[in-house]
Amino acid sequence: MRNEFYAGWITNNGSRIKGTHDPLISEELFARVQAKLNRGTPHKQVNADFPLRGFVRCAGCGTKLTAGMAKGRTERYARYWCWQKGCAHPIGISRDELEAQF
């Protein structure tokens, strides 16, 4: 949505001029969209259940650990683990054990 054509403008030889076509959106809406696009991507929020996800790295390959709930026979367990295929020493550690180290 960066093309000014949508708001009724065209570029001719490097000059911005009003087109003869009907705009698809208002100039005001186009300006608001551009402002939002120029803000950049929002930062991911930290998951309160797994605050170290994306910060702690695997000792085997250096990949950021992911986290989630692992299913046992009768319960679910909060864990961090390396998801990288081919990691020589993939790690899997309980949330409580890892967070206790901090």
Enter the pTM of the model.
0.52
CB 87 within 8 A of CB 99: no
**For residue 10, what pLDDT is reported?**
93
CB 10, CB 20: distance < 8 Å = no
Here the tokens at position 41 are 């991507």
- Per-residue tens of pLDDT for the chain, all 102 residues: 789 999 999 998 889 999 999 999 999 999 999 988 888 766 666 677 888 888 899 988 988 998 999 888 898 999 999 988 888 888 889 999 998 988
